[in-house]
Structure 1
């Protein structure tokens, strides 16, 4: 039996969670505010804490920070929120939360997270402070993106190298910037280098710098990106395209914490956190002799995989609306354009080979070219570079647009569930992953719509 603390200002949810935990055989203490939670945890020893994110007065993250400062040993803290975002998930994990879950949370999910929490003896310690939330391109309620947010939060709490993997256009640089923004190095430089865009003969100089006369045209001294990023973060984007001899120098810099500018025999100490990103399979590149195995081991201390957009169906509409809002922002308060039901359906059915970058470009194109307030299916087809479809033959049934919003939402839900099941060939776990929802919710929806 575990001794558990619940901190939540919602009386009904607090009582329901306490009843669930007691039904699982545990003892609970429930309080209604962050201040009460800190005071109670200072007096009693708890095995785990369930902490609401949004509360009046001291919110969940402030409470978590206060618990870190007050307690000699922080128990596993499970942060719960009804309003999840990339920023609050990253910050919660960076501050030492054991997990960050979205409400409502099922009994099975409570049991599963608590079992994991009770196996943990110590929590992740926080380090430093972060600036404002600017993680718009990392938004998304899907399970895949929430796992990315958690990995960013855990990685932001230290300075070890990070390897970010993912297809072109998935947002690997956004991950690197979020790691920097939420780390203790947030007030220090962030420098990004695209290794595939710089010729091999210039990349070494770009990274390590050179002294005057090091080569023809070197009329002055150049510090290089490692020295420019000293104290901060250096992103080596598309590191899989880097030449082997430059890889050897990168490895030495990571091992020794120093660089040698071209044309010089004098080493210069640097304190840089390296984040490497690539769309390539580095293990395959090692086997083919195109990438150093020792460098891969050195970089792959922490890895974060950015899933392609086709695996994040639940994120497509929120991302599209985010990009429309951002496109409208510079236009002096002009309201952002909205998506029609047909446009939303087309977004969900597109393969998105260019991932988030392609989606952003399409939404910016729609903002610039569509003159009316609501983006229709034909507008989107043109923005995607496809011929408009026969609207009469391809549009959803006319009665979709009749009646109240809840009925239309139910019809769209049913369509998405059937489509995900078809794509997953009846595999329910895979269908839930594609939709970005928990399997328990999928089962309930299948029963609700008679698809089980």
Structure 2
């Protein structure tokens, strides 16, 4: 039997929760405000857990949680934050403060029973909470956020919140277009390094021969064209966060050098004998299966374990369909805030969006909404306005049918050539981005383009 403090200004909800907890065999104490709760917690009464409402008139649940964590006798108290308005910022901030769980109202009896079992098993671990004070709005559309309230995405948000309270290296995985760089920026903004630089590097976009100079910098005269000293991107990120996107494309020789930097926290610029001490949080991302890359000996095993300290996986959009319509509406609203016409989705358009497979994930959805925001024929987006979403499927059927009549080697060549041309067309000739979409290295793309005489 546990003694649980319930903090909520909603009398009906507070009393209902107390009754449920009582039925489960626990004692409860109720507080109608954050100040009342802090008065109780400043005393000597034993509390095994606290259920804390996020929105209260006197002070927010986050304010209460921050003060609870400052009380020496209550620092390990498991706190469960409850809210009717879950956002990514709330969840991430709450987990950064050491919350155990973050639940959205209403909360069922079975969920409460399961949660209390977890709290008991954790032997007094912290609980879950929230941070922001309002729903997500279009007005702050430029702020990096992981939008969505699906359970799959909430798990990633909670991991980001926990990771933000540390300086540990983070490995973000997920398909192309799921928002890995956004996740890295959200992590940086939620961390203690938020006021220091965030430096992002796409490992697939930099030629192998230039990578060392790009990362570590070089001394004057280190090589032809090095007419002045140049600080590398790692030094530029000093005190902040270094984000290495597409880490799976980093050449093996550079993998060894990056491993040394992570282990020793020093680097040596190209052409220099000076060791420079660095203080950076390293976050890396990839759409590749690094475990398979390690098995294939194309990625160093020792580096993988150095990077995979806190893994965060971003689910593909098809595995969180409940987020599709809210994301689509957000992107339409963001386009309107940038000067475009106000648009909304018809029921037919919503069905079309929900039926689409979204192979390009959130990036594809964002681009689709920007397209209809600019080209839709009226304020209500119709099914016809989204007809282009069927084009890839129809094209795939046409290609498949045509390939059946060709010998296998020719069919493979044609399919590969068509895929490369389509990726280059979709990315407006951006070869680095095309390589990412195709799941190959930039050098492999160049080789194939030369072989097929593309571009």
Q: TM-score, normalised by structure 1?
A: 0.82
Matches within 5 A, 1:362-401: 362-382=368-388, 385=391
Structure 1's 321 and 91: CA in aligned 2 closer, same or farther, altered over 3 A? Answer: same
- Kindly state the Cα deviation for residue 119 of structure 1 after the two structures are TM-superposed: 2.4
Assess if the C-alpha contact under 8 Å between 1:170 and 1:307 holds in 2: yes
Q: What residue number does 1:139 align with?
A: 147
The whole-number CA distance in structure 2 between the counterparts of 1:177 and 1:253 is 22
**C-alpha offsets along residues 350-381 of structure 1, whole Å, 9 cap, x if unaligned?**
01010000000000001111131000011011
Assess if the C-alpha contact under 8 Å between 1:48 and 1:118 holds in 2: no
Q: What residue number does 2:67 align with?
A: 66
Matches within 5 A, 1:96-107: 96-107=98-109
Matches within 5 A, 1:112-261: 112-121=114-123, 123=125, 137-261=145-269
Assess if the C-alpha contact under 8 Å between 1:340 and 1:375 holds in 2: yes
The whole-number CA distance in structure 1 between the counterparts of 2:253 and 2:20 is 59
Q: What residue number does 1:25 align with?
A: 25
- Kindly state the Cα deviation for residue 130 of structure 1 after the two structures are TM-superposed: 10
- Kindly state the Cα deviation for residue 35 of structure 1 after the two structures are TM-superposed: 1.1
Assess if the C-alpha contact under 8 Å between 1:309 and 1:356 holds in 2: yes
- Kindly state the Cα deviation for residue 383 of structure 1 after the two structures are TM-superposed: 6.0
Assess if the C-alpha contact under 8 Å between 1:214 and 1:263 holds in 2: yes
> Secondary structure of the equivalent of 1:380?
helix
Matches within 5 A, 1:341-356: 341-356=347-362
- Kindly state the Cα deviation for residue 70 of structure 1 after the two structures are TM-superposed: 2.4
> Secondary structure of the equivalent of 1:343?
helix
The whole-number CA distance in structure 1 between the counterparts of 2:351 and 2:334 is 22
> Secondary structure of the equivalent of 1:6?
strand
Does residue 318 in structure 1 map to residue 323 in structure 2?
A: no
The whole-number CA distance in structure 2 between the counterparts of 1:371 and 1:220 is 55
The whole-number CA distance in structure 2 between the counterparts of 1:125 and 1:261 is 45
- Kindly state the Cα deviation for residue 137 of structure 1 after the two structures are TM-superposed: 4.4
Q: What residue number does 1:421 align with?
A: none
The whole-number CA distance in structure 2 between the counterparts of 1:384 and 1:217 is 50
Assess if the C-alpha contact under 8 Å between 1:130 and 1:183 holds in 2: no
- Kindly state the Cα deviation for residue 113 of structure 1 after the two structures are TM-superposed: 1.0
Structure 1's 2 and 375: CA in aligned 2 closer, same or farther, altered over 3 A? Answer: same
- How many pairs does the alignment contain? 384
The whole-number CA distance in structure 2 between the counterparts of 1:231 and 1:6 is 40
Q: What residue number does 2:46 align with?
A: 45
Say what the alpha-carbon RMSD is for the aligned residues: 2.1
- Kindly state the Cα deviation for residue 385 of structure 1 after the two structures are TM-superposed: 4.3
Q: TM-score, normalised by structure 2?
A: 0.81
The whole-number CA distance in structure 2 between the counterparts of 1:293 and 1:386 is 38
Structure 1's 105 and 39: CA in aligned 2 closer, same or farther, altered over 3 A? Answer: same
Q: What residue number does 2:8 align with?
A: 8
- Kindly state the Cα deviation for residue 222 of structure 1 after the two structures are TM-superposed: 1.1
Q: What residue number does 1:309 align with?
A: 317
